[in-house]
Structure 1
Amino acid sequence: MLGRKLVYRHEMPLRWGDQDAMNHINNTLYFRYMEQARVEWLDALCAEERREKNQGVVLVNASCTFLIPLTYPGEVSCDIFIGQPGRSSLPTFYELRRLDDHRLYAEGAAKLVWIDKLSGKSMPLPDALRLAFADAQKT
């Protein structure tokens, strides 16, 4: 991915109960996999701001392109990549791959906006996230 840097990888099992009538992992779960990776990444970077300072992110859009159906059993990895930040926005990109063959099964994107939870208004990204983006732009 040109202009993007891998910042986080999360691995998780594919669960039997997540299958649909076609014996594929239901499409809604792909968004859950991206969400779980995103939450863990943000916790690692800025848990204090999110929990103690009444700040956090809201999802303003999300997309997923389904390339190959995921099937049970197995494990999936979700890689998070970042691009150029805005004042308060976080562009994030995702790749979902099975651990047993590493092919790209789905790719996604989500734009997040950092907010003050009390007012609901956008605010500048915290320093920890700015540093993550600055480091990503160097490579």
Structure 2
Amino acid sequence: MSSNPKLHKFFHRTPIQIRFNDIDQLSHVTNSVYQQYFDLGRLKYFTEVLQEKMNWEVEGLVLASITIDYIIPIRMWDNIEVLSKIYEIGNKSLKMRQEIFNNTTGEVAAVSKAVMVCFSNAAGKSIPIPHRWRELILSFEKDLQL
């Protein structure tokens, strides 16, 4: 599937509560907090889509790469949510795109792209993505093509 963001349709949304301590001296959400918002969206995505809690000792997903593009500032009283989508899945890894969407302004505030690798802590190495996860992701991401 193309990684062109205009082609992505998000099926997963995570509302985010902005906390007072998320705000910097400029009255914006500080940049390091964006990562926490993306983490919350990613964890909720996998818990809901995979219908289980990951047991990283046996099989889990670990971040191999992540980028964040900051587009517009988020302010204290903005209503925001994290949109999450897996847009590519391989044998041992997958790619996720996330956006922080500002419902107050109607704009995308930030975009994150991540590569995650399936990993067994007990084995100490990467492992193939479990078939049950692959099927659940493909079922959820209706427009994901292999």
Structure 2 CA distance for partners of 1:4 and 1:103, relative to 1, 3 Å? closer
Deviations 1:38-87 (CA, angstroms, capped at 9, x unpaired): 00111123354723972111101111100101110222111012212111
**Displacement after TM superposition at 1:111 (Å):** 0.7
- What are the equivalent positions in structure 2 for 1:1-139 lying under 5 Å apart? 1-2=5-6, 4-46=8-50, 48=52, 50-51=54-55, 54-131=58-135, 132-133=137-138, 135-137=142-144
Which region of structure 1 is more displaced relative to structure 2, 58-67 or 76-85?
76-85
Which region of structure 1 is more displaced relative to structure 2, 98-107 or 3-12?
3-12
Separation in structure 2 between the aligned mates of residue 93 and residue 108 of structure 1, nearest angstrom: 6
Structure 2 CA distance for partners of 1:105 and 1:2, relative to 1, 3 Å? closer
Q: Which runs of 5+ in 1 are unaligned?
A: none
Q: CA RMSD in A?
A: 2.1
Structure 2 CA distance for partners of 1:129 and 1:4, relative to 1, 3 Å? farther
Structure 2 CA distance for partners of 1:79 and 1:121, relative to 1, 3 Å? same
Structure-1-length-normalised TM-score: 0.87
Which one has a larger percent helix, Structure 1 or Structure 2?
A: 1
- Say how many residue pairs are matched: 138
SS at match of 1:136: coil
Separation in structure 1 between the aligned mates of residue 9 and residue 127 of structure 2, nearest angstrom: 24
Q: Which runs of 5+ in 2 are unaligned?
A: none
Separation in structure 1 between the aligned mates of residue 17 and residue 119 of structure 2, nearest angstrom: 32
